[in-house]
Structure 1
Amino acid sequence: MRFKYLSTACMLIAAIFLLPGCSKDDNIRLRDNNILPSVVTDNFNLKTFSTALERTGLTKVVSQKGPFTLLVPSDVAFSKAGIDGPGGVIGTNSALLESLTAYHILEGVYRLNELPFLFNQEITSYGGGKLYITRWIKAQDTILTVNGSRILPQATTASNGLLQVIDRVLKPYRFEYLADAIAADQSLTLFYQALQRAGMESLLRKKGPYTVFAPTNAAMITYGYASLEAINQASPTALAALLRYHIVADRRFLNDYILSTGSTATSTQAMIDDNTVKITLIPNNEVQGGYEGITLQGSGNGNTQIRIVQQDIITGNGVLHTIDQVLRITQ
């Protein structure tokens, strides 16, 4: 919101305290204690995000008329992401912090609990990155997620928008294409080499979306590809057959599987080779009836449950998960 002149109240306060003047944001706050930055500050569980807004200068942005919707990670969520309280914010690289904070700001009012019951509905953040909102019914509950992270269902209304609390810090994606995200991960060099040898890297540079379950280097070595040289000597056709069993023609966060899997806690996922992988939900021992993740089982993996090492790595054309073993197909 722009003002040509300082308000009378602002000038009086400046005169009383011998201040040089009040900013436009101070002017707004004098007249409105229910503006988004004030609502964030007044919540004892959101101190880290409040500090991030101030440090990045984004408090000024979300003090404007807007409206805006803030997806605010709790202090616990920030701690889990390695940013422990306001002190952790101060110690974070400023450019990284600004990108991360802007990713949690939406321009406009998004009443997420009124969206259609669909998976991964695309919206764009203030920082320009894409986010994906799911609204789904699980048992008797309506569940909201963003990039696979749970959103608390009750929104807080401010005078210039809405505030929604989420349980994880959302990381803006660094790469437009899955191929580049895989290439940049030093734990996936063997998998990336296999993509190149099989002529499949170009697939992961297309619009998609795709989801990739990429075996780590240790998993590839265990499977029999012990080095880059071994992969370069392998049949491109055989490699392509193997790789296609690790790619889904859709965007799938781990929580999507938890929401879409029924009471048996098992389901199947079709891969781009038309074969299926078994999905089994991992119970959350701290939440009755809840689940904390998934395991995978290829048709040739026997009784082995394959675990997720890293989850929900978002890119412009899909999602990357890393896994601790190779998915095997029954021969």
Structure 2
Amino acid sequence: MFNLKPEAMKLAINLPKPQVYYLKLPALLLFVLTLITSCNTEDTYLDENADLQRTIVEVLDSYGSESEGSDNESTQSRMNRPTFRTLNVALARTGLAGTVSSNRLTVFAPTDAAFEKYGLNQRNIVSTLGVETLRSILLYHAVAGTVFSGDLPSNGFVATLNGASVEVNVGSSVTINDATVVIADIEARNGVIHAIDDVLFPPTQNLVELASSFDPEFSVLLAAAIKAELAATLANDGPFTVFAPTNQAFMNLLGVNTVQEAIDAVNGLAPEDLAPILLYHVVPGRVFSTDLSSGPVETLNGSFDLDLETLTIDGNAMLVPSLLNVQATNGVIHVINSVLIP
């Protein structure tokens, strides 16, 4: 088995037998065992870190491959692994695959089963939604930078590449809007993936359109914005955060009994009288309830005082808890029950 030179053979023969069999053989076995263990450790390391050599798109694609997964993974486990074929097709068809592959991102990745809830799959997703709408939806699933599950806020909002934000809640499970994270922290060379069980849909209406969709709840506010010549600004510019008084709030202020009477009263005012009042309800930027703290809040016309313990503004107007953080394409609405007077 071994090609020993004659001198080595003589040396071996002349050694005491206990040394040959009780010292040399265990040493050889120990060497072999160490070699095997080190090889297994290296194989495991390479298996666990294989995704770090691939981009986000490549990692997503690997979940659809039957050859993927470790040797120790059971057949049932492989069958239960989510797939992302629809997402990958959508990224490719919208021209976003390169963006997702070349930038450091965090992707909330809907599984194929998540898309199927809406009758969407890799064959019909583009024809059903259209490229522009689909592109907007996909950008709503991506966050700049690498954000692992442990870095997510326990209760807050995270801005996406769409411009709008997703709401994150961490409890017994992690939810993104109404979707639950089913696999967290799938690492890739250029970021991290969190697989989710639902599709995230971004806001599609600007602030004015959103307020109008609640018709007639904010019809007086909208009439005031039009009269003050601010409606176009609130629709097209921003982002803004609007503390929006209800129709009843205007009726109480104006001392009238109907919405139409309130609208008539507002239309009877001069734009220069209305504008300062409305601007006192508008804060620059997207400011969610989790971003607020008690104290002065700067508006486009001075500052009001916020008390989060009582949810009141200037000691009078109250925030409506069930109608906070209503997102528009260009901002956020928080509903209040009184008109603020600067």
TM-score scaled by length of structure 2: 0.52
1:244–1:271 Cα contact (<8 Å) kept: yes
Unaligned runs of 5+ in 1: 1-24, 75-84, 136-143, 282-294
Q: Distance in 2 between matches of 1:41 and 1:233?
A: 68
Aligned: 1:251 with 2:286: yes
Residues matched between the structures, number: 244
Identity, in percent, stands at 20
Alignment correspondent of 2:323: 310
Q: 2:108 aligns with which of 71, 77, 80?
A: 71
Distance 1:247 1:101, change over 3 A: closer
Distance 1:250 1:296, change over 3 A: farther
Q: Secondary structure at the match of 2:326?
A: strand
Q: Secondary structure at the match of 1:211?
A: strand
Alignment correspondent of 1:13: none
Deviation (angstroms), 1:41: 8.9
1:100–1:172 Cα contact (<8 Å) kept: yes
Q: Distance in 1 between matches of 2:109 and 2:290?
A: 19
Q: Distance in 2 between matches of 1:150 and 1:88?
A: 14
Of the two, which has the highest radius of gyration?
2
Deviation (angstroms), 1:155: 2.7
Q: 2:68 aligns with which of 32, 38, 63?
A: 32
After superposition, the CA RMSD in angstroms is 5.2
Q: 1:298 aligns with which of 313, 323, 337?
A: 313
Deviation (angstroms), 1:106: 3.0
Distance 1:30 1:88, change over 3 A: closer
Aligned: 1:179 with 2:183: no
Q: Distance in 2 between matches of 1:105 and 1:325?
A: 34
Matches within 5 A, 1:5-16: none
1:104–1:170 Cα contact (<8 Å) kept: yes
Distance 1:192 1:296, change over 3 A: farther
Q: Secondary structure at the match of 1:251?
A: coil
Q: Secondary structure at the match of 1:218?
A: helix
Q: Distance in 2 between matches of 1:247 and 1:214?
A: 9
Structure holding more strand per residue: 1
Q: 1:273 aligns with which of 273, 276, 301?
A: 301
Q: Give the partner amino acid of 2:242.
A: V
Q: Distance in 1 between matches of 2:198 and 2:307?
A: 23
Unaligned runs of 5+ in 2: 1-60, 71-76, 169-173
Q: Deviations over 1:309-330 (max 9, x none)?
A: 4233333432223x14124337
Q: Deviations over 1:12-38 (max 9, x none)?
A: xxxxxxxxxxxxx6995123349xxxx
Q: Distance in 2 between matches of 1:232 and 1:179?
A: 18
Alignment correspondent of 1:6: none
Q: Give the partner amino acid of 2:237.
A: K
Q: Give the partner amino acid of 1:29.
A: S
Distance 1:243 1:308, change over 3 A: farther
Q: Distance in 1 between matches of 2:337 and 2:322?
A: 10
